[in-house]
């Protein structure tokens, strides 16, 4: 009967336009009008897919976490575990332009998290998922007896988690001072330092 548009596909397109505006002009200038214009839509049309700006922002932030999650899931090769873990963790770092954009958007929304309950909820869930994943990696390394003897598994998970986000944030905010190479090198160095000598 009527014109049919794939809602989810369209919403993703709008969310990507939101990313663009945020990266170019910042969250405080990401008005509904600018986003609609960036997506080549009218404001009324955009609001047909996102009833409110809050919905749009929530979906746009959520899209970042989905992209990252899918990327990690596609990494299930049959490589040696240490190498596989290393690659999975590297997926979370902003190692190329696409990932830098996503991380930058995530960073900006994370700040808003402090005064936005809906974004806070999402942020918390993703944080716990990430922590759980890192704990699994640490525990797996331990089960494989690859870790040094005197490590504290719980603290090591916290440390690795903080290190990854710290490196990512530093590279996003100061790409010239903390280069891509240093970021990757430091993560590898850290993982090596956890493991027994070869």
Partner DNA sequence: ATAGTATTAGTACAGTTGTATTAAAAAGGG
Partner DNA sequence: CCCTTTTTAATACAACTGTACTAATACTAT
Classify residue 33 as exposed, middle or buried by CB count within 10 Å of its CB (0-12, 13-18, 19+).
exposed
Contacted by 198, from DNA, its own copies, none: CB < 5 to 8 Å by type? none
Q: Is 177 in the site for DNA (CB under 7 A)?
A: no
Which residue in 29, 25, 164, 168 sits closest to 94, CA to CA? Answer: 168
Contacted by 43, from its own copies, DNA, none: CB < 5 to 8 Å by type? DNA
113: part of which helix (H) or strand (E)? none
Q: How far apart are CA 185 and CA 18, in angstroms?
A: 32
Q: Is 179 in the site for DNA (CB under 7 A)?
A: no
Enumerate residues 6+ apart whose C-beta is below 8 A from 48: none
Contact 64, 15 (CB under 8 A): no
Q: Between residues 47 and 69, which has the closer beta carbon with respect to DNA?
A: 47
- Write each residue from 106 to 145 as x if it is in contact with its own copies (CB under 8 A), else as -, in one continuous string: -xx-xxxxxxx------xx--xx--x--------------
Q: Is 12 in the site for DNA (CB under 7 A)?
A: no
Neighbours of 63 (CB within 10 A): 18
Contacting positions for DNA (CB under 7 A) = 1-5, 7, 10, 29-34, 41-45, 47-49, 51-54
Contacting positions for its own copies (CB under 8 A) = 23-29, 104, 107-108, 110-116, 123-124, 127-128, 131, 152, 155, 158-159, 161-167, 169-170, 172-174, 177-178, 182, 185-186, 189-190, 193
């Amino acid at each position: 009967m009527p014109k049919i548009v794939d809602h989810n596909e369209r919403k993703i397109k709008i969310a990507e336009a939101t990313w663009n505006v945020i990266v170019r002009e910042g969250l405080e200038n990401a008005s509904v009008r600018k986003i609609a214009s960036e997506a080549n839509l009218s404001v009324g049309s955009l609001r047909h897919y996102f009833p409110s700006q809050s919905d749009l922002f929530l979906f746009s932030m959520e899209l970042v976490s989905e992209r990252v999650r899918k990327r990690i899931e596609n990494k299930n090769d049959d490589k040696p575990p240490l190498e596989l873990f290393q690659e999975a963790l590297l997926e979370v770092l902003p190692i190329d332009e696409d990932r830098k954009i996503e991380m930058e958007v995530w960073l900006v929304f994370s700040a808003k998290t402090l005064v936005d309950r809906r974004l806070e909820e999402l942020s918390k869930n993703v944080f716990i998922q990430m922590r759980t994943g890192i704990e699994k990696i640490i525990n797996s390394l331990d089960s494989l007896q690859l870790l040094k003897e005197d490590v504290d598994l719980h603290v090591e998970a916290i440390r690795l988690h903080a290190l990854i986000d710290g490196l990512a944030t530093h590279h996003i905010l100061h790409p010239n001072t903390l280069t891509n190479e240093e970021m990757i090198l430091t993560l590898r160095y850290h993982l090596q330092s956890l493991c027994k000598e070869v």
